Amino acid sequence: MMMNNKVSRRQRTRVGKYEMGKTIGEGSFAKVKLAKNVENGNFVAIKILDRNHVLRHHMKGQLSREISTMKIINHPNVVKIYEVMASKTKIYIVLELVKGGELFDKIAKNGKLKEDEARSYFHQLINAVDYCHSRGVYHRDLKPENLLLDNNGVLKITDFGLSTYSQQEDELLRTACGTPNYVAPEVINDRGYVGSTSDIWSCGVILFVLMAGYLPFDEPNQMTLFQKISRAEFTFPPWFSAEGKKLLKAILNPDPLTRIKISEILEDEWFKKGYKPATFTEEDDVNVDDVAAAFNDSKENLVSETKEKPVSMNAFELISRSQSFNLDNMFEMEQKGVVKRETHFASQRPANEIMSKIEETAKPLGFNVHKRDYKMKLQGDKSGRKGHLSVATEVFEVAPSLHMVELRKTGGDTLEFHKFYKTFSSGLQDIVWHTDSVK
Domains of the chain: 2-97+282-298 (3.30.200.20), 103-272 (1.10.510.10), 315-438 (3.30.310.80)
* Structure confidence at residue 181 as a pLDDT band (50, 70, 90): confident
pLDDT: which is higher, 234 or 165 = 234
pLDDT confidence bin for 59, thresholds 50/70/90 = confident
Q: Give 25's Cβ-side CA count (13 Å radius).
A: 21
pLDDT tens-digit series, residues 305-339:
777 655 555 555 455 445 444 433 333 434 444 44
Cα separation, 93 vs 48, whole angstroms: 6
Segment 142-156 shows an average pLDDT of: 88
27 Rama sector, left if φ>0, alpha if ψ -120 to 50, beta otherwise? beta
**Does 289 qualify as catalytic in the annotation?**
no
What's the predicted TM-score (pTM) here?
Answer: 0.70
SS (H, E, C) the chain: CEECCEECCCCEEEECCEEEEEEEEECCCEEEEEEEECCCCCEEEEEEEEHHHHHHCCCHHHHHHHHHHHHHCCCCCECCEEEEEECCCEEEEEEECCCCCEHHHHHHHHCCCCHHHHHHHHHHHHHHHHHHHHCCCCCCCCCHHHEEECCCCCEEECCCCCHHHHHCCCHHHHHHHHCHHHCCHHHHCCCCCCHHHHHHHHHHHHHHHHHHCCCCCCCCCHHHHHHHHHCCCCCCCCCCCHHHHHHHHHHCCCCCCCCCCHHHHCCCHHHHCCCCCCCCCCCCCCCCHHHHHHHCCCCCCCCCEEEECCCCCCHHHHHHHCHHHCCCCCCHHHHHCCCCCEEEEEECCCHHHHHHHHHHHHHHHCEEEEEECCEEEEEEEEEEECEEEEEEEEEEEEECCEEEEEEEEEECCHHHHHHHHHHHHHCCHHHCCCCHHHC
Q: Measured between alpha carbons, how far is residue 178 from residues 98, 210, 215, 410 in Å?
A: 24, 20, 15, 13
Q: How many CB atoms lie under 10 A from the CB of residue 436?
A: 5
Q: Decide if pLDDT at 26 tops 90.
A: no
Quote the pLDDT of residue 254.
94
Share of residues in the chain with pLDDT > 90 (%): 26
Per the model's pLDDT, the better-predicted residue between 332 and 183 turns out to be 183
User: Is pLDDT at 273 greater than 90 in this prediction?
Assistant: yes
Highest mean pLDDT among 144-148, 210-214, 285-289: 210-214
Give the model's confidence band at 229: pLDDT under 50 very low, under 70 low, under 90 confident, else very high.
very high
Which pLDDT tens digit goes with each residue over 60-92?
777 787 788 788 888 999 999 899 888 888 889
Measured distance CA(102)–CA(157) in Å, rounded: 10
Asked if the model's pLDDT at residue 347 lies above 70, the reply is yes
Q: Is the dihedral of CA 411, 415, 418, 424 positive or negative?
A: negative
For residue 395, the cross-strand partners are 405
Q: What is the mean pLDDT of the chain?
A: 79
Options 50, 105, 116, 141, the catalytic residue:
141
- 98 near 149, Cβ under 8 Å? yes
